[in-house]
Structure 1
């Protein structure tokens, strides 16, 4: 008898139960997915609401509170803008248009960039209410930090929140829009008053379009960090108007030398670059590409060295597109490690060390890497040379001819021949200035050449050139050191005031010794090294170094029967305020440590000569120079200084290195030669 085939009732019930449980689980899982998706959408909506408020707060028109206007100073906790704080009802399209409740609030923290060390320069960000803020804080804060918080209740009944943070600068929306878009209107507003510098430290150039340009800082600021030099300065473009001079544009530059190692192959940046667009100089951004890159050799270097080592590498494509750092005979530049004997070892493999120097320009608030500096000429003269309007105009005519010749590929003109000096024994400061012309793309160069050849008066406005004071960064030498020497001390900055008070240095100071003539030579590396004052990083940089050896120094002691010499000495100055001792500031009268050393009274008994004081710009050491000191003179040189509020002590440093507290330098017998830094004085002020 055959058995029948089929399912029993029990089997059917069991199968139905299994299916039901599976479907229930699937539906539950789908519900969780849907709820999770809804929660995610609500979070996205919350972030959007927060960002919307941030944008709303940025749209103010004035800074101070003004009736009927949106003001920067209106912005405070849950105040400011057009969108109110509090509850919001939002229809979420991804949730079938259902409405959801949100709450929007924000907090504001005002921050101030202030001067905390009383040197006249702002240096630190402090929050509102900080005890370190000055008594009279600005009416408009330097920045407002914003935190916008959005709250909502999710589908499970839990309260959720998200906070979006941002910052506001005191720049009205109209000005911010102009800055971003660089329209013609943006370039004419806002107007900022500017006071041009004066020769010989600052040289201005008329650009032929009613505007002028100058390097505003007379000497680049130097910040030593170990073996790294950071040199910063800026150039200012301005316009002279009746009764006022307005600043139009400011370019900030930073140049730094770094120690690097080859890192391999990966992502790195090409340089930003100055280009000519619609008849005006503008910045063309760099881009990220795949190429060789480097890494810092150690972490004890300035922050900019990370980008310097990583990005300062060229490719054939960069060369062909004309947006590169520096080429070597038309090919991408290589990297080398300078040896003690002046030779260079190639860096070929990952991990190989090499030296690098990079140039940065501030773009949209950040320092971006830039093509290398191109030094086309260097010229030296005494610090009195440009005080004459005639020689100043002749100097400008010469440098403009240099720039024009370099643009057109012609030989440079001869240097002015009236720079030689005849002096009596003593100390005299020389100045060196470097003329730089940025490498240009072919289209830029062609257009600029056309402007020059057609006689257009405003061609200089399209030329990316710079006239920089290099006195403390170039190398100096004298070919007849028995007649005159010239200082060329190592670049230094005060790093440890407790142990190194005399961290200033001197370059370009001629110390005339005895009758005769000497040729003074000054030189700098061809590229970025000329700005940092550091050694060459390649043989090409050595081969293309720029020198000026066209200046003669003649020393004439005036009499064959009676010889005259000089007594030259450094002036070292220490100032102690509230128990803290550091070197005196001798240039910036806004700093609390400023001391006007020209107020030192120097007399001699018997009185036969004068001892003027020279305060060089920057970190260079002040000095006194008593000239026309007869070989038959014997007596004392007396020093006196009175500074209100300070106790002043003067000491004499003798040739053997000893320091004696006295204000009188006694010479028991006459000089037989110029005394060049054998003696110096130390001025100490205590408050």
Structure 2
């Protein structure tokens, strides 16, 4: 019975109700698929239109870069792309630098106002309508600098053998970021541009050991690609372990087909003396393991001109000498035997995501100057030409040119930041050097793009002194990047900031050690680093307007985040320092630099109130009252994040 019933049920087929239910289920599924497909199509169209709008905005910004600076102004346009009309508008605002960037309407604009803004900010808006009628808007911001002044030393590495995404180059603005064309041909339309991406190196401290980092970017107009060189320099305490075959040779740049590329033979394993981190010194940077192990040479490396450090008196195995310091602080050569301690410093570059060993810095020239000299177009051009002349002289084996003229300053009593910049040139093989020399002799306009040179801001890493502290004193604080408010340490320190105090002339000098010590701002660890380069600026102070003495109100602004960490540059943005009937400025040149304000050249007898403010921060004190000013006054302020 059961078997016959089942057989009968199988033969009768589906009922009408079952068919209807199935059709409803299928219809619901198909409707969902159609809706999902429509959503995918809309998303695809939306993404394509956004990409098109971004391309239009970037192209407009690129076009503005190549316009005559005075002609760069706000405007509108419309662009038709893929049958879609995009409305383009751009707003240009003048930007003036007097310690911070300020624009029209800012009460702290420079006075008198320069006839030409130091930079122009550009805000580009691209508007269009989706097919469904929905309005869309894309915004792109950028800056256009008035001048391109510094030939910072960025070498270009060749593109790897793969297709890379195109990028649009938007230059930074002076003086923090300086874009430089690597060609002397002013009519060239395709060239390389390089710029330093940080105004000053980042300085980090662990115990008595330092890590100094900075990077630079090179943009290639021809291929629309960019390359980043990320350098880090550290000092360590090490201990010899003996000869091993697991140590690396340095990476370096070489010349191939007229371009600087990474030497494919760099970073090879070789047998040589090695070392380890000195266990008696705690809290050393992690990279010291690599530094202690690899920073040694052997005879093969010397023969191939690929060494870490220059030395006029090498060991018989080709290694350069290593030293430690005795109780009196004098350099004493370390015996290269197991467990003997020595001091070390290493330069590294990030390659394929990892820091790899690089030859030591070769320091050749230093220039001390004021920020105003570098912002000024004439001064900027003078300094840029000086950098080129120094590099050319080094390549050709000639005497270095004289330092740029026009760097001396005349000021009233107050506070002013000086800047020190260094020029470095990496070693080149004989063949590399000869090719660059021939390019110069052939008057090739882009010869400098073949040279591995670097231009670095050393303000916070060099030593500063003055010949007359009564006229103009200068800060030269110890490098201190830890936070300890009880010891007045706020993760920052100051160097190169002059306090103009009284009428007269003072000569302010910056000096820096040689080799890696110049970048680390530390004591030399080798006799060949135990020298220094220096540069001076004459400071003339006028302490009267002819009838009335002039004074100043200045001070430092320390800053802590709400969690107790040291503030970064971003926390100092939009700090307002204002006074009644006096002009005050605020300046800061990097995360490690202590922010400072200055109300300069105030007539004697002035009474005023100076106010400090920034959204999200509390200032202690928030105001400083000046009553019948009769001398230079210093009032330090602390700002705490709410």
**TM-score past 0.5 threshold:** yes
Secondary structure in structure 2 of the residue aligned to 1:639? strand
Distance in 2, matches of 1:459 and 1:394, equals 19
Correspondence list, 1:55-454, <5 A: 186=162, 189-208=164-183, 210-240=191-221, 246-267=224-245, 268-284=247-263, 285-298=266-279, 299-329=282-312, 331=314, 332-339=319-326, 341-348=328-335, 349-454=337-442
Secondary structure in structure 1 of the residue aligned to 2:522? coil
- Please say if 1:505 is aligned against 2:493: yes
Secondary structure in structure 2 of the residue aligned to 1:466? strand
Closer, same or farther: CA 340–485 of 1 in aligned 2, 3 Å: farther
Q: Which has the higher contact order (CA 8 A, sep 6+)?
A: 2
On the 8 A contact 2:558/2:595 being kept in 1, the answer is yes
Question: Residue 579 of structure 2: which of 593, 596, 603 is its match?
Answer: 603
1:445 is displaced (CA, Å) by 0.8
1:232 is displaced (CA, Å) by 1.5
User: In the alignment, which residue of structure 2 is the partner of 1:96?
Assistant: none
User: In the alignment, which residue of structure 2 is the partner of 1:612?
Assistant: 585
1:194 is displaced (CA, Å) by 3.4
Closer, same or farther: CA 649–300 of 1 in aligned 2, 3 Å: closer
- Please say if 1:570 is aligned against 2:556: yes
On the 8 A contact 2:158/2:261 being kept in 1, the answer is no
Distance in 2, matches of 1:454 and 1:342, equals 50
Question: Residue 638 of structure 1: which of 594, 604, 610 is its match?
Answer: 610
1:411 is displaced (CA, Å) by 0.5
Secondary structure in structure 2 of the residue aligned to 1:307? helix
Distance in 2, matches of 1:636 and 1:182, equals 59
On the 8 A contact 2:480/2:489 being kept in 1, the answer is no
On the 8 A contact 1:501/1:574 being kept in 2, the answer is no
Distance in 2, matches of 1:204 and 1:639, equals 36
User: In the alignment, which residue of structure 1 is the partner of 2:638?
Assistant: 682
On the 8 A contact 2:231/2:349 being kept in 1, the answer is yes
Closer, same or farther: CA 263–433 of 1 in aligned 2, 3 Å: same
Secondary structure in structure 1 of the residue aligned to 2:383? helix
1:300 is displaced (CA, Å) by 2.2
Q: Which one is further off, 355-364 or 208-217?
A: 208-217
1:556 is displaced (CA, Å) by 0.8
Q: Normalising by structure 1, report the TM-score.
A: 0.65
Distance in 2, matches of 1:553 and 1:500, equals 29
Secondary structure in structure 2 of the residue aligned to 1:362? strand
Q: Normalising by structure 2, report the TM-score.
A: 0.69
User: In the alignment, which residue of structure 1 is the partner of 2:47?
Assistant: none
1:388 is displaced (CA, Å) by 2.2
User: In the alignment, which residue of structure 1 is the partner of 2:529?
Assistant: 541
Secondary structure in structure 1 of the residue aligned to 2:490? coil
Q: 1:318-355 CA deviation, whole Å, 9 max, x = no partner? A: 11110101121263421111346442011114322221
Instruction: Look at both structures and tell me which one has the larger radius of gyration over its CA atoms.
Output: 1
Distance in 1, matches of 2:396 and 2:410, equals 37
On the 8 A contact 1:424/1:512 being kept in 2, the answer is yes
Correspondence list, 1:475-490, <5 A: 475-490=463-478
Distance in 2, matches of 1:500 and 1:514, equals 28
Distance in 1, matches of 2:158 and 2:463, equals 41
User: In the alignment, which residue of structure 2 is the partner of 1:628?
Assistant: 601
On the 8 A contact 2:255/2:261 being kept in 1, the answer is yes
1:521 is displaced (CA, Å) by 1.1
Secondary structure in structure 2 of the residue aligned to 1:612? strand
Secondary structure in structure 1 of the residue aligned to 2:601? strand
Distance in 2, matches of 1:530 and 1:595, equals 28
Closer, same or farther: CA 518–340 of 1 in aligned 2, 3 Å: farther
Closer, same or farther: CA 527–640 of 1 in aligned 2, 3 Å: closer
Q: 1:42-76 CA deviation, whole Å, 9 max, x = no partner? A: xxxxxxxxxxxxxxxxxxxxxxx99xxxxxxxxxx
1:559 is displaced (CA, Å) by 4.1
1:360 is displaced (CA, Å) by 0.6
User: In the alignment, which residue of structure 2 is the partner of 1:132?
Assistant: none
Correspondence list, 1:10-89, <5 A: none
Distance in 2, matches of 1:581 and 1:326, equals 40
Closer, same or farther: CA 300–207 of 1 in aligned 2, 3 Å: same
Secondary structure in structure 1 of the residue aligned to 2:194? strand
Distance in 2, matches of 1:455 and 1:340, equals 55
On the 8 A contact 1:598/1:615 being kept in 2, the answer is no
On the 8 A contact 1:638/1:665 being kept in 2, the answer is yes
1:246 is displaced (CA, Å) by 4.0
Distance in 2, matches of 1:582 and 1:235, equals 27
RMSD, aligned CA: 2.6
User: In the alignment, which residue of structure 1 is the partner of 2:119?
Assistant: none
Distance in 2, matches of 1:399 and 1:384, equals 18
Secondary structure in structure 2 of the residue aligned to 1:396? helix
Q: 1:534-557 CA deviation, whole Å, 9 max, x = no partner? A: 1111221013x22112x2111111
On the 8 A contact 2:276/2:289 being kept in 1, the answer is yes
Closer, same or farther: CA 370–483 of 1 in aligned 2, 3 Å: same
Distance in 2, matches of 1:420 and 1:357, equals 35
Distance in 2, matches of 1:182 and 1:613, equals 42
Q: 1:416-449 CA deviation, whole Å, 9 max, x = no partner? A: 1111100001000111111111011111111111
1:597 is displaced (CA, Å) by 4.7
On the 8 A contact 2:466/2:509 being kept in 1, the answer is yes
Provide the aligned length of Structure 1 versus Structure 2: 472
User: In the alignment, which residue of structure 2 is the partner of 1:156?
Assistant: none
Closer, same or farther: CA 454–385 of 1 in aligned 2, 3 Å: same
1:513 is displaced (CA, Å) by 0.9
Distance in 2, matches of 1:457 and 1:482, equals 49
Q: 1:262-318 CA deviation, whole Å, 9 max, x = no partner? A: 222223222111111222212221322221111111352111101111111122321
On the 8 A contact 2:475/2:494 being kept in 1, the answer is yes
The unaligned stretches of length 5 or more in structure 2 are: 1-42, 45-156, 184-189
Secondary structure in structure 2 of the residue aligned to 1:582? coil
Secondary structure in structure 2 of the residue aligned to 1:450? helix
Closer, same or farther: CA 424–231 of 1 in aligned 2, 3 Å: same
Q: Which one is further off, 518-527 or 341-350?
A: 341-350
